[in-house]
Amino acid sequence: MKYSRRHFLKAAGSGAVVLTTVGGYRSVAGSAASAQMASGIPAPMTVEIGTFIINGATYQAEYEARTTLWEVIAMKLALTGTNRSCNRASCGACSVLIEGTPYYSCHTLATEAREKDIFTVEGLGDADNLHPIQAVGHRYVAADCGFCTPGWEVTAKGLLDENPDPTVDEVKMALSGHICRCAAYPAIIRTVVDAGKVMRGEAEL
C-alpha cells in the first residue's frame, strides 16, 4: 500500500482548517486535529485532494475521508458509466478494476484508490468501438435492464486479461460477486466464454 504524508497534511495545517470544495460546501477540521498536535501525532485526514488515473486519464478531485470511490468517479468526476445499486457491497454493479483487480467501488474509500490505475466501463469500449465482451453480449442479450452490466463487464475483462480461455466454472466463480436481477446469467456466461474466443481469434463477430 503506497501512501505519502502530503495527502493528509493538507487537512492539518492549522487547528481549524476551513476548506471549500468544488460543490461549495464547507467543512471544518475541528478540535480533534488540535488535540493530536499536542501529542505529536499528525492530524487525521478529513478532506483531501487526490489524483485518480481512470482509464489512463488523470483526474483530480477533492473529497471527504468518508467519500467512496464510486462517489468520486460518478458524482465528482461525472464518469457515470459505473452504476451503484445496493451501496452495501452486495451486488457488484459498481465494480471497477484497481490495478487490474476487481473491487466494489461503492465499498472502497476513494482515498484507497489515489494514484492507482482504475479501469471502468468507459475504458472498455464505446458504441463505435465495442470490446468483444460488449459486442458478444449484445448479440446474446447478456444485458436486459443493463444496470449490472458495467460491473460484470469490467470484472470479466479482468478475468480474460488474466485467463484468456476460462471454463464455464471459472467464469461462474469469477462473476459470482455480481447479481443480475434480470437473471441473464446463462447469456453472461456464454458471452464471457465466447468473447474470449473472439479475443483469441477463434471466433469472429
Contact in structure between 136 and 198 (CB atoms under 8 Å): yes
**Among 69, 93, 118, 160, interactor with other proteins by CB under 8 A:** 93
User: Taking the mean position of all CA atoms in its chain, how far away is CA 74?
Assistant: 9
Residue in the block written with cell 466501463: 121
Give the separation between CA 183 and CA 88, rounded to whole angstroms.
20
**Among 50, 61, 95, 119, interactor with other proteins by CB under 8 A:** 95
Give the separation between CA 130 and CA 26, rounded to whole angstroms.
42
Binders of other proteins among residues 57 to 76 (CB under 8 A) are 64-68, 71, 74-75
Contact in structure between 160 and 166 (CB atoms under 8 Å): yes
Shortest distance (Å) from residue 108 CB to other proteins: 7
Q: Is 199 in the site for other proteins (CB under 8 A)?
A: no
Binders of other proteins among residues 30 to 59 (CB under 8 A) are 32, 35-36, 39, 41-46
Binders of other proteins among residues 167 to 196 (CB under 8 A) are 172-190, 194
Angle between helices 149-162 and 132-140 (to 10 degrees): 130
Q: Is 197 in the site for other proteins (CB under 8 A)?
A: yes
**Among 62, 111, 114, 160, interactor with other proteins by CB under 8 A:** 111
Shortest distance (Å) from residue 133 CB to other proteins: 8
